[in-house]
Amino acid sequence: MSDLNKLGLAEARDALRSGKTSSKELTQACLSAIEGAGALNAFVHHTPEIALAQADAADARLKADKDAPAMCGLPIGIKDLFCTKGVPSQAGSRILEGFKPEYESTVSQNLFDAGSVMLGKLNMDEFAMGSSNETSVYGNAVNPWRRGNEDTALTPGGSSGGSAAAVAADLCLAATGTDTGGSIRQPAAFTGITGIKPTYGRCSRWGIVAFASSLDQAGPMTKSVRDAAIMLEAMCGHDAKDSTSADLAVPNFEAALTGDVRGKKVGIPKEYRMDGMPEEIETLWQDGIAMMKDAGAEMVDISLPHTKYALPAYYVIAPAEASSNLARYDGVRYGHRARLEQGDGITEMYEKTRAEGFGPEVQRRVMIGTYVLSAGFYDAYYNRARRVRTLIKKDFEDVFAQGIDCILTPATPSAAFGLGEMTDADPVQMYLNDVFTVTVNLAGLPGIAVPTGQDRKGLPLGLQLIGRPWEEADLLSSAYALEQAAGFVAKPDKWW
Amino acid sequence: MSIDPSTAARVAKLARIRVEPDALPALAQEFNTILGFIEQLEEVDVEGVEPMTSVTPQRLKRREDVVTDGDQQDKVLANAPDAREGFFAVPKVVE
């Protein structure tokens, strides 16, 4: 078989079962693709020895056990946010330079237990704070897609930008991502791939470098909805080491992919039609509505009245939690410690270490979080934001109580933009990237981005489906129907 | 609510991040832009609304109060910038 790296998880799984290829061959094809893709800056720590050893073990397991898990032998990339034992895990930050965890994150361990092969660690915004992968200590990851014949380098989105670029460019069969405000779904939409953020609590957060603990969730970034179902099942499950991990049975998500949406009620929220939204996004959305209708779903106009306040609430809650979580980077236990002057005490050590180790966006958010939690402002900012969060969640509960099965929205307010194009904008302009995705994190719901169209210059665009809590199986099935109807098959032309 | 450079300096101090004095005015300006955006929340009627503590209603699990982990000093210290004689080392704290 040729071009093994271009396979999706389901195809590769089937090829392994029928003996058409081996995990070793799949892995070698990906390693060669990675070697030739330095220009994308997607893989930032390469682990070929681990990959080949895991591939050999997977081949032996496949030979011995015909019931080996679906992920067995499939080569994937791991976002740098996941702690991987003995392998650099820096969260894209200078402050974790040289850090090699002595333990494995639960999600990556689950994937390895299922026989997955790790090709290396993937680029990301520093501490997952960003929407363009431009805050990474490793430099920008680059989108394999370009605007027509232009050679402007575009962002793959963020924070899971390396994961998105790697999957879209066929450097791996799939990758892990994490999503705090849209960090799986926005990059998936920018690169023409599929990404799902499951219900809060589905995936264990243990061993994933924390950004905002009440919002963070891991999820798969894949080449199809079927692949997302396969990989999500391997990633999630109850974990005693994460007290917010849900003790619920994990369904067979792939078996639920009927793609039958007849009679399902799909909500179309009027608040997601924003002023100044590009016409192409509106057209994409209308096309998606028509596709779901043709497939037999009933479209229902709904209202989620507090949508407008989701981003401002997020930019209180996420920085507040980040300022608390990132207090652990003090130059004492791991990572970077600043060189100290004669007479410097422990306070200077903290202040210099954190000034050198954190980039500007992380510093900004830690300080905003510190401010909104400080005496005198805690009630006005933090508690008010948590009250608004309650209302945002209630908006969704109300429409689900009316019988809505899922909600269809655009995934992003635009196609991928140029790297550097937002440099002069104020931080809030960049934050607007997450306007359609952040509500889902605040409400703890599952959301999936599916590529359904292209803009005039050929860049991919995605739609988002939002599901009821814990009903990822039903959500994936609806997404499968949308994927079938859209028939998105475009791939970026190789220039790297 | 407007943040001036001296408030920015206080926040930086609380966050234990060194900011050079000449960078404080620009930092204060950025804070004001972000806080200006956040202040939209004042429009929302939150009377009688409980602040969210957990996005999914759940009772935290309990377990026996027993030691389940430990005895791995080497691993704990393996990534320390400065570890000596089984301890983390830091600059002098007490004068």
Judged by CB atoms closer than 8 Å, whether chains meet at A100 and B42 is answered as no
In whole angstroms, give the CA distance from residue A191 to residue A492: 9
* Per-residue confidence (pLDDT) for residue B2, from 0 to 100: 83
Query: Active-site residue A352, yes or no?
Result: no
285-314 in chain A: CB under 8 A from chain B: 306, 308-309, 311-313
* Per-residue confidence (pLDDT) for residue B95, from 0 to 100: 65
Residues A115, A61: contact at Cβ < 8 Å?
yes
* Per-residue confidence (pLDDT) for residue A277, from 0 to 100: 85
Residues A382, A435: contact at Cβ < 8 Å?
no
Judged by CB atoms closer than 8 Å, whether chains meet at B79 and A386 is answered as no
Contact residues, chain A, for B60 at CB < 8 Å: 243
A469 touches chain B (CB under 8 A): yes
In whole angstroms, give the CA distance from residue A197 to residue A214: 14
pTM (two decimals)? 0.97
In whole angstroms, give the CA distance from residue B64 to residue B51: 31
Query: Active-site residue A477, yes or no?
Result: no
Q: Which residues 6+ apart lie within 8 Å of A320 measured at CB? A: A369, A372, A373, A382, A385
Which member of A349, A364, A443 has the closest CB to residue B30?
Answer: A364
Concatenated DSSP letters for A87-154?
B---TT-GGGTT---SS--HHHHHHHHTT-EEEEEE--SGGG--SSS-S-TT-----S--STT----B
> What residues does A46 pair with on adjacent strands?
A120
In whole angstroms, give the CA distance from residue A431 to residue A246: 30
Minimal Cα–Cα distance from A388 to chain B, Å?
7
Minimal Cα–Cα distance from A120 to chain B, Å?
20
Cα-Cα-Cα-Cα dihedral sign, residues A423, A182, A278, A461: positive
What's the DSSP call for residue A76?
Answer: E
Q: Is A172 left (phi over 0), alpha (psi -120 to 50) or beta?
A: beta
> What residues does B51 pair with on adjacent strands?
none
* Per-residue confidence (pLDDT) for residue A197, from 0 to 100: 98
User: Which of B1, B4, B16 is best to mutate for the A interface (most A CBs within 10 A)?
Assistant: B16
Written in H, E and C, the secondary structure of A25-54 is HHHHHHHHHHHCCHHHCCEEEECHHHHHHH
SS3 A350: helix
In whole angstroms, give the CA distance from residue A464 to residue A266: 12
The string of pLDDT tens digits covering residues B13-71 is 999 999 999 999 999 999 999 999 999 999 999 999 999 999 988 888 888 999 988 99
Which member of B44, B55, B92 has the closest CB to residue A309?
Answer: B44
> What residues does A410 pair with on adjacent strands?
A463
In whole angstroms, give the CA distance from residue A400 to residue A338: 51
The DSSP bridge pattern shows strands A447-454 and A406-410 to be unpaired
Which member of A309, A334, A368 has the closest CB to residue B79?
Answer: A334
Per-residue confidence in pLDDT tens, chain A, 496 aa: 679 999 999 999 999 999 999 999 999 999 999 999 999 999 999 999 999 999 999 999 999 998 999 999 999 999 999 999 999 999 999 999 999 999 999 999 999 999 999 999 999 999 999 999 999 999 999 999 999 999 999 999 999 999 999 999 999 999 999 999 999 999 999 999 999 999 999 999 999 999 999 999 999 999 999 999 999 999 999 999 999 999 999 999 999 999 999 999 999 999 999 888 889 999 999 999 999 999 999 999 999 999 999 999 999 999 999 999 999 999 999 999 999 999 999 999 999 999 999 999 999 999 999 999 999 999 999 999 999 999 999 999 999 999 999 999 999 999 999 999 998 888 888 888 899 999 999 999 999 999 999 999 999 999 999 999 999 999 999 999 999 999 999 999 999 9
Cβ atoms < 10 Å from Cβ of A494: 11
Q: How far is CA B24 from CA A271, A351, B12, B29, in A?
A: 38, 15, 9, 9
* Per-residue confidence (pLDDT) for residue A424, from 0 to 100: 84
SS3 A211: coil
Chain A with chain B: Cβ pairs closer than 8 A: 166
Judged by CB atoms closer than 8 Å, whether chains meet at A368 and B60 is answered as no
Minimal Cα–Cα distance from A10 to chain B, Å?
32
188-207 in chain A: CB under 8 A from chain B: 199-201
Q: Which residue of chain A is at minimal alpha-carbon distance from B12?
A: A367
- Where would I find the beta strands (DSSP E) of A298-384? 298-302
In whole angstroms, give the CA distance from residue A73 to residue B70: 34
Which member of B12, B38, B78 has the closest CB to residue A367?
Answer: B12
Largest CA distance in chain A: 73
Place of tokens 């330079």: A97
Question: Could you give phi then psi for residue A282, rounded to 5 degrees?
Answer: -60, -45
Could you tell me which of A268, A298, A302 has the C-alpha nearest to residue A286?
A268
Minimal Cα–Cα distance from A459 to chain B, Å?
30
Question: Could you give phi then psi for residue A56, rounded to 5 degrees?
Answer: -60, -45
The string of pLDDT tens digits covering residues A82-107 is 999 999 999 999 999 999 999 999 99
Which member of A355, A381, A387 has the closest CB to residue B49?
Answer: A387
Percent of residues in chain B assigned helix, strand, coil, to nearest 5: 40, 5, 55
Query: Active-site residue A478, yes or no?
Result: no
Largest CA distance in chain B: 57
Place of tokens 């050198």: A356
